[in-house]
Structure 1
C-alpha cells in the first residue's frame, strides 16, 4: 500500500459488504504524458496478444515486422541475445546479457510497424512514471532498466523475471493454486494495482499471462507437481495502460477477463481492473478460466449463470441493443452454446471446495469484485482491508 496508507486504520472500514463504502486517499502528482506517447488500440483489444511458449530457435527472414535475429546477436554493442523467452502480437521477448553491467535482462523487441512503435512509446512513458513514483521498488510492477532503438525496432530493457502464472499452471497440468498461495499472490497484485489506481492509471489487461513470478525456482512433489519456492510476483505489459486523462478506447482487456461494462459499451474506469483480477483469482482457484467463451452473448450468459441476472438498469443503458430483450439479457443469443454454459458454469458459491473460513472469505471477496454495477464494485484499496488478507496485514 502507498506511503500514506498507514493513516487509514482498520476500524475506518466495516466488514464484508460494507467494503462498498468509498475511501479517500491522497494521490501523488503525475506529469502529463507527451501526446506522442498516447494510448494506441492496435493491440489493446486483441484476444491473441498473449505470450506463447518460448521458442528457442534462431529467427530468420521474418516478414511480419519482427526483428531478424540469431542467438549471439549483440544489439547496441551491449545486449547479447542468449535465448527467446516468448512472443506475442507486439513482437518478441528475448533474454540478453547486458555486457556493461554483467547482468541478465529481458528485452522486449517490438515490431517495426508504427502502430506497435506507438504502443511501445506509451509503455515506456508509463514505466518511466512507475519508476519515478516507486523509486524504492515497493510495488510489484516490472522495472524498466532502459530502452533503445535497433534497426527501426523499439527495444525495452526490463528486469528478468520467471515464468508467468499461466505458464506455471500449464506446466503443472493446471493443478489449481491453494487458497494460501492465492492469498499471497493476490495481496501483492492488489497493492501494486492499487498503487497504479491512486496515480490515475488503469492497466486494462490484467490476466495470468501478465503476472510473472520473480523467480522460477520450484521443486517437484510426490505427485510430480511443481511446488513454488517463492510466491513473489510482478505485473508486466503496460503497453495498453491508460491514464485517467487519456482517451479511453471502447474495447479493452483480453476476452476472458473483460468486464461487463466493456462488453455492453457502458464506458469503463479503473474498476475494470478489479473485475479482471476477480476472474484471475478464480482461474487460480479452479485451474481453468471462469468464463471460457469467445462470443460476447455467450460470455454475458455465462456471467448470469455464475453471478445471477445482469441488473436491468445496466442493460437499459447499453447501446448493444441486440443483447437486450424486454429489459433482460437476450438469452436467445446464447442458445447455441447453452450446453457449454451448463457444462462449465455454476453459481459462484458452488465452486467452493470446502466450507472453511478462509474459503468463505475468499468467495466473499470475489463476490465484491465481480459485481456488475461499477458503483458497487469494491475498490482495491478497500479489498486490501478485507478479512481474507487479515493474516498478511498482521505480518506487515
Structure 2
C-alpha cells in the first residue's frame, strides 16, 4: 500500500485474536489482516487479492466481495471488485470528491449511450466458422462504455471508490498479442488489415497482421464505442483528459485463442476507467471568441497529448478526440505513434505523421496564436506561418532515425489506395487528428463517418 501513510504503520498491540489490525489516524480501523490466510479484509466485506496499479492520488486493488454472489451482478467478473483507495490525507479529499462528482454526473442518465447500439453485420463474414459464434457478441457496441461505481466509501480521512472488476486493458491485449506472435516465428507476422484473402482455401481466410495489432473489424467496434462514449460525456459537459490504452478495459475477462488471428477478446465491448483527471467544462474560466470554454492547464499522458495542449493554447472537448484517434491507430498497428518525452520532438513527430498545418489556415502561428509556448517551439524565419525549431544541435542521429521511421499518414493512404475499407479508416484518423482543434471532427461527426457505415 502507500509507503508514507497509515496503511504501512505497525499493527496495533491491541489487535483482536486471529486478526492483525491496521489503524487510521485517531485509531479508526478499516482493514483487518487474517492471521491464517495473511490476506486483508477491507470494510468488513472485501477480501484483498492483489494490487492492480497506482497513481498520484490513489492505488487500485482487486478484491473479492464476500457479501455479493457471482450471479447478483450482470457485468464485470462476478463478485470480484476493483477498489480505488485514495491516500489517507485530507488534502486528497478534493480528488475523491471531484471523481465522485464526475461519475455521478455521467451516471445520472444513459439515454445517449444506450441509443447508439450498432451491429457491424459485415464483420461476421470475416470470422471463420470456428470463431463466428464467439465473436458475434463483440460486434454490439454503444452500451454504457464506462465503468459504473458500486460504492463510495468515506471513512474518517480515508476515501475509496468501488467498481466492478473488468478484463484486461487494451494495452495488455496488444502486449499479449506481440508476445504470442514473437513465439510463432514459423509464421509470417500479421498485417494490420485482417482482410479476407481472395482464395478458395478456407483454411487461410485472413492476411496476417503486423506487430500484434488488432484486426480492423475489432478496431472498428472499439472505435465506435469510444466515440459514442465521448459524445455521451460531452453531453454532460465532461472532458476525460487521460484517454489511453491503459484506461480502456475489456468488459469481459475471457480471451479467445484463434490460430489465424492470434489471441483476441471474446467480446470487443469496452469500459473506460479512471476519471480522476476528468473536468467539467463549466469550471473553465476562459473562452474563445466563439464562446467555447477552454482551459490552459497541462493534461493527458504525453504520447496521447493534443497539439493545443503542447503549445499551451487552450483545450476543450477536441483534446479527447485527438487521443482516441491515436489510440485507434495504435490498436491497428500495434505500436504507439509518438514515443517521446520532449515537446519539440513530439511536435516534429506530429508533423512527420500528419504534415504541416495548412498555410491557407495560417500555419502554426495562426492556429496556436494563444499558446504560451508557440514562440519557443516555432520560428518565423522561413515563412510567416512558422517552422518548428527542431531538430536542434542537441538532436541525436538516433532521434532523427526514429522520426524518419514514422510512416506519414498520406503514404499509408497511397500505399493501400485499392482497399476502400482501410482508406476509410485512414480518412477518419486524418480528420480526428487535425492540427486545428476547431477543424477536428467532433465525436458525433465521427460516428457518422463512412468507416462506421454498416454494410
Q: TM-score range by the shorter chain?
A: 0.7 to 0.9
**Deviation (angstroms), 1:186:** 0.8
Alignment partner for residue 251 of structure 2, among 209, 214, 229?
Answer: 214
* Structure 1 gap ranges (5+): 1-58
SS in 2 for 1:107: strand
Residues 1:358 and 2:421 are matched in the alignment: yes
Return the alpha-carbon distance in structure 2 between the equivalents of residues 130 and 315 of structure 1.
31
Return the alpha-carbon distance in structure 2 between the equivalents of residues 228 and 194 of structure 1.
25
Q: Could you give the per-residue CA deviations for residues 26-83 of structure 1, whole angstroms, max 9, x where no partner exists? A: xxxxxxxxxxxxxxxxxxxxxxxxxxxxxxxxx5xx4244844766322221222123
> In the TM superposition, what are the counterparts of 1:115-154 in structure 2 within 5 Å?
115-134=91-110, 138-150=143-155, 152-154=157-159
**Deviation (angstroms), 1:109:** 1.2
Deviates more, 1:69-78 or 1:361-370: 69-78
Q: Could you give the per-residue CA deviations for residues 106-165 of structure 1, whole angstroms, max 9, x where no partner exists? A: 111122244543222211111112221228974201100111135743110011111110
Residues 1:200 and 2:232 are matched in the alignment: no
SS in 1 for 2:324: helix
Return the alpha-carbon distance in structure 1 between the equivalents of residues 445 and 85 of structure 2.
37
The aligned residue for residue 264 of structure 1 is 311
Residues 328, 114 of structure 1: alpha-carbon distance in 2 compared, 3 angstrom cutoff:
farther
Contact 1:66 1:92 in 2 (8 A): no
The aligned residue for residue 31 of structure 1 is none
Return the alpha-carbon distance in structure 1 between the equivalents of residues 419 and 89 of structure 2.
52
Alignment partner for residue 373 of structure 1, among 432, 436, 439?
Answer: 436
> In the TM superposition, what are the counterparts of 1:316-395 in structure 2 within 5 Å?
316-320=369-373, 321-326=375-380, 327-333=386-392, 335-336=395-396, 337-343=399-405, 345-351=406-412, 354=416, 355-391=418-454
Residues 1:106 and 2:82 are matched in the alignment: yes
SS in 2 for 1:331: coil
SS in 2 for 1:142: coil
Return the alpha-carbon distance in structure 2 between the equivalents of residues 65 and 185 of structure 1.
39
> In the TM superposition, what are the counterparts of 1:8-157 in structure 2 within 5 Å?
62-65=2-5, 67-68=7-8, 72-102=39-69, 103-134=79-110, 138-150=143-155, 152-157=157-162
**Deviation (angstroms), 1:293:** 1.1
**Deviation (angstroms), 1:264:** 0.4
Return the alpha-carbon distance in structure 2 between the equivalents of residues 224 and 272 of structure 1.
33
**Deviation (angstroms), 1:224:** 9.2
Return the alpha-carbon distance in structure 1 between the equivalents of residues 436 and 98 of structure 2.
30
> In the TM superposition, what are the counterparts of 1:150-165 in structure 2 within 5 Å?
150=155, 152-165=157-170
SS in 1 for 2:453: helix
Residues 1:279 and 2:326 are matched in the alignment: yes
**Deviation (angstroms), 1:281:** 0.6
Return the alpha-carbon distance in structure 2 between the equivalents of residues 280 and 272 of structure 1.
13
The aligned residue for residue 27 of structure 1 is none
Return the alpha-carbon distance in structure 2 between the equivalents of residues 65 and 314 of structure 1.
46
Contact 2:240 2:278 in 1 (8 A): yes
TM-score (norm 1): 0.78
SS in 2 for 1:148: strand
Matched residue pairs, number?
331
Return the alpha-carbon distance in structure 1 between the equivalents of residues 148 and 7 of structure 2.
23
**Deviation (angstroms), 1:167:** 1.1
User: Greater CA radius of gyration, 1 or 2?
Assistant: 2
TM-score (norm 2): 0.68
Residues 87, 318 of structure 1: alpha-carbon distance in 2 compared, 3 angstrom cutoff:
closer
> In the TM superposition, what are the counterparts of 1:239-318 in structure 2 within 5 Å?
239-247=276-284, 248-310=295-357, 311-312=363-364, 313-318=366-371
Task: Give the CA RMSD over aligned residues.
Answer: 2.3
* Structure 2 gap ranges (5+): 9-30, 70-78, 115-142, 179-210, 285-294, 358-362, 381-385
Residues 269, 66 of structure 1: alpha-carbon distance in 2 compared, 3 angstrom cutoff:
farther
Return the alpha-carbon distance in structure 2 between the equivalents of residues 254 and 360 of structure 1.
28
Return the alpha-carbon distance in structure 2 between the equivalents of residues 88 and 239 of structure 1.
10
Return the alpha-carbon distance in structure 1 between the equivalents of residues 261 and 248 of structure 2.
24
**Deviation (angstroms), 1:357:** 1.2
Residues 81, 359 of structure 1: alpha-carbon distance in 2 compared, 3 angstrom cutoff:
same
Return the alpha-carbon distance in structure 2 between the equivalents of residues 92 and 325 of structure 1.
43
SS in 2 for 1:319: coil
Return the alpha-carbon distance in structure 2 between the equivalents of residues 223 and 384 of structure 1.
30
